[in-house]
Amino acid sequence: MIQLVDIHKSFGKQKVLDGLNLTVEEGKTTVIIGRSGGGKSVLLKHIIGLIRPDRGQVLVDGEDITLLNDKDLNEVRKKFGMLFQEAALFDSMNVAENVAFPLREHTKMSNEEIMDIVRNRLNAVGLSDVEEKMPSELSGGMRKRVGLARALAMQPQIILFDEPTTGLDPVMTEAINQLIIETQRAFNLTCVVISHDIQSVFEIGHRVAMLYEGRIIEYGTPEEVRASRNPVMVQFLAGSIEGPIQIL
């Protein structure tokens, strides 16, 4: 579904991605892990075309989106939904208006058709009778669910999750993990998740990719990654990712 080939990206003198290669399998959840400030969000923005690489290819369904003009790129982006770290709901809109927003912006559906989809997507993420509530009236977990309902509104093939469990307590983290698993299965989605939460990584991921110094240095199933003898991977799983990597 998605393939990144020899991606290079620098900002000034800072090299963030350095010949990165990654394949995201269709209908699977791929979790990207790595240290803070290591380029995970930059990688995610390349996938959706918000950033263009200095060199390399970003293939979505076999089409290199780095070569597209803005109009054609926007068409490709309709294949994507995105759940941001803080849900990124519009504070001035109620729940229904937030979920309806992409449908009103990008389709010519009637209000009745849009509201049917809004209710359907809210039910899909376990919410009902919240259409009239404002984001300020919702808990953090509920805001994440509304954000996911909005991401599902346009029936995307791919959903990108940027730290979906950040700021949540363990109970709500588990609830969001289960929601991601169930949503991926129900809609047969291709998912890319950025996460620091090791337990979540191994719970939701079909594949895990470790980003380090601008490259994917480890990729495999959760079982394969757990068994890795790569010293960077071993140290990351031991919980010392923020410090200097000791080559054992």
Helix (H) / strand (E) element for 182: namely helix 170-187
Domain with 212, as residue range(s), is 1-78+198-248
Pick the closest to residue 19 from 47, 55, 64 (CA basis). 55
For residue 24, give the CATH number of its domain: 3.40.50.300
pLDDT of the chain along its 248 residues, tens only? 899 999 999 999 999 999 999 999 999 999 999 988 889 999 999 999 999 999 999 999 999 999 999 999 999 999 999 887 767 899 999 999 999 999 998 889 999 999 999 999 999 888 988 999 999 999 888 888 899 999 999 999 999 998 888 877 888 889 889 989 999 999 999 999 998 888 889 999 999 999 999 999 999 999 999 999 999 999 888 874 444 444 43
In a domain, 2, yes or no: yes
State how many domains the chain has: 1
Residue 233 located in a structural domain = yes
Task: List C-alpha distances in Å: 87 to 84, 106, 138, 228.
Answer: 5, 20, 12, 33
pLDDT of residue 198: 86
Could you write out the DSSP letters of every residue in 125-174?
Answer: TT--S-TT--GGGS-HHHHHHHHHHHHHTT--SEEEEESTTTT--HHHHH
